[in-house]
Structure 1
Amino acid sequence: MTEFAVHCQDLRVVLGGNNVVDGIGLDVAEGEWVAVVGPNGAGKTTLMHALAGLIPSAGQLTVSGRNPRDAGRKAMSQVVALMPQRPVVPEGATVTELVALGRTPYLRRFGTETAADRMVINNVIQRLDLTEFADRRATELSGGELQRVVLARALAQEPKVLLLDEPTSALDIGHQQQVLDLVEAMRLSDNITVIAAMHDLTLAGQYGSRIVLLDRGRVVADGPPADVLRSDLLGEIYGARVEVLDRPSGPVVVPIREKDGR
């Protein structure tokens, strides 16, 4: 039987009496980048939180061979890291202190960081080019700088699976590319599996080797970007008029303005 970094079958999450995730089946290979897209309310964030074991779910689910319901929060945090859409930054915390929180799953109760922990923290700070910000308060950083720090905190967990929830939603186009390029470089160098809930369909098609399209908690399409990002399918699911342009780096989704009432 093939081992997957993530396996779920008939995965369901009920929130407020609603089936927010409604019978999702998903297998993700080790080292793969899967972009999860869909309109608002499709269940993208809820799926990310279920995969991380942060909310109750039903159905089959394993992440890096572990069931989040049985393994416990600390054990799961050693194999899966979630970069949230709206990170909580402790008041007064420096960049180094925020990144160091990523080592929490490896600390013994009432324990402190070891030399090995500090080596991981310093290595991640260097790899993400954050050395000049190391002693600065995280709340004083720009949006793009803070996103890099939050990514560094997730990578300090040394995860096998990295979950990104709208990682570029608050960034300009330059910082979007910077953050996603960093994720791609780390994925390739460390063989990290990436599952990213993404709002921007063009970025999803440019970076994801595979796209999963959700609607009302269900998978309606799953495949290579060119197969999923089709104008007819996107028009049906999003209620939008778009044109999809074929480019060497991946599909580009362009909205089409209606003119003269047509």
Structure 2
Amino acid sequence: MTDSAVRCRDLRVNLGGKDVVDGIDLDVAPGDWVAVVGPNGAGKTTLMHALAGLIPSTGELSVGGLSPRNSSRKAMSAVVALMPQRPVVPEGSTVKELVALGRTPYLRRFGTETATDRSVISSVIERLDLTEFADRRATELSGGELQRVVLARALAQEPQVLLLDEPTSALDIGHQQQVLDLVEELREADNITVIAAMHDLTLAGQYGRRIVLLDKGSVVADGTPSAVLEADLLGRVYGARVEILDRPSGPIVVPIRQEGTR
């Protein structure tokens, strides 16, 4: 038994003969928010999929007390939910129908919803302020609205662990803040463990309680936002010139233009 919501030791994922995730050790406490950052190709999305049990991996792995390799897809879906970077929306499905897909792990043999399922679906729709969209086709929504619906589907699973893969990559700054503020509210209210692969380092520093920096499939730094978001380290990993601004809400990463190029 372990007190960790997520635990992995020497976790590896080999794709096409290459270890895309290369020997990761990670412990995440229940209710924590860990932001996973790194350059393109660092292995962030692959790590998310491995934690969700969607792709084969080697090494020790436990999520919500279950081993993805030794548990059914249905059992895993009851403890871990993945909000994908590019969600697939079934053609013609309404918002309510899309959210209801989150109850699939709990459906009985013939797929009929119980009163409990309907209550959870209604509650999630209300909490995410989607009531007015419930009967609208999901494909008719704006990017920010659809992100809330996809998050609602994940939360309808009532997961212990919520995995977010670039949850704000297609959103403007206002919708980015709305989605991440909502995740934070739900994390605090329900003690959900959040692991988010994030492209924007400032958002990672503002919302993550802890940051794990990946490079070439390995962890190169793991600690508080202030400890990891350090100019020299980011310069080495990203090949970027940045300045770090300390703010009470977390560090802000500012790119610096090369002198003499104006």
Q: Letter of the aligned partner of 1:177 in structure 2?
A: Q
Q: Aligned residue for 1:193?
A: 193
Q: Aligned residue for 1:15?
A: 15
Q: Does 1:228 align with 2:246?
A: no
Note the alpha carbon deviations across 1:54-99, whole angstroms, 9 max, x for none: 0000000000110000011100000000000000000000000000
Task: State the distance in 1 between where 2:219 and 2:133 align.
Answer: 41
Aligned residues of 2:80 and 2:159 also touching (Cα < 8 A) = yes
Equivalent pairs, count? 262
Give the alignment of 1:88-99 within 5 angstroms: 88-99=88-99
SS in 2 for 1:20: strand
Q: Aligned residue for 2:46?
A: 46
Q: Aligned residue for 1:207?
A: 207
Q: Aligned residue for 1:35?
A: 35
Mean alpha-carbon deviation: is it higher for 104-113 or for 245-254?
104-113
1:2 positional shift: 5.0
Task: State the distance in 2 between where 1:260 and 1:174 align.
Answer: 33
Give the alignment of 1:161-180 within 5 angstroms: 161-180=161-180
Q: Letter of the aligned partner of 1:186 in structure 2?
A: L
Q: Aligned residue for 2:82?
A: 82
Aligned residues of 2:37 and 2:198 also touching (Cα < 8 A) = yes
Task: State the distance in 1 between where 2:183 and 2:76 align.
Answer: 20
1:108 positional shift: 1.9
Note the alpha carbon deviations across 1:212-247, whole angstroms, 9 max, x for none: 000000000000000000000000000000000000
Q: Letter of the aligned partner of 1:97 in structure 2?
A: E
Q: Which runs of 5+ in 2 are unaligned?
A: none
Q: Aligned residue for 1:67?
A: 67
Task: Summarize the Cα distance change of 1:52–1:2 in structure 2 as closer, same or farther, 3 Å threshold.
Answer: closer
Task: State the distance in 2 between where 1:27 and 1:165 align.
Answer: 19
Q: Does 1:127 align with 2:147?
A: no
Provide the alpha-carbon RMSD of the alignment. Answer: 1.0
Q: Letter of the aligned partner of 1:43 in structure 2?
A: G
Aligned residues of 2:99 and 2:153 also touching (Cα < 8 A) = yes
Task: State the distance in 1 between where 2:178 and 2:184 align.
Answer: 10
Q: Aligned residue for 1:111?
A: 111
1:156 positional shift: 0.1
Aligned residues of 2:161 and 2:192 also touching (Cα < 8 A) = yes
Where in structure 1 do 4 or more consecutive aligned residues deviate above 3 Å?
none
Q: Does 1:143 align with 2:175?
A: no
Mean alpha-carbon deviation: is it higher for 162-171 or for 109-118?
109-118
Question: Taking structure 1 as the reference length, what is the TM-score of the superposition?
Answer: 0.99
Note the alpha carbon deviations across 1:43-63, whole angstroms, 9 max, x for none: 000000000000000000000
SS in 2 for 1:105: helix
1:261 positional shift: 5.0
Q: Letter of the aligned partner of 1:192 in structure 2?
A: I
Task: State the distance in 1 between where 2:6 and 2:191 align.
Answer: 14
SS in 2 for 1:117: helix
Q: Which runs of 5+ in 1 are unaligned?
A: none
Aligned residues of 2:28 and 2:34 also touching (Cα < 8 A) = yes
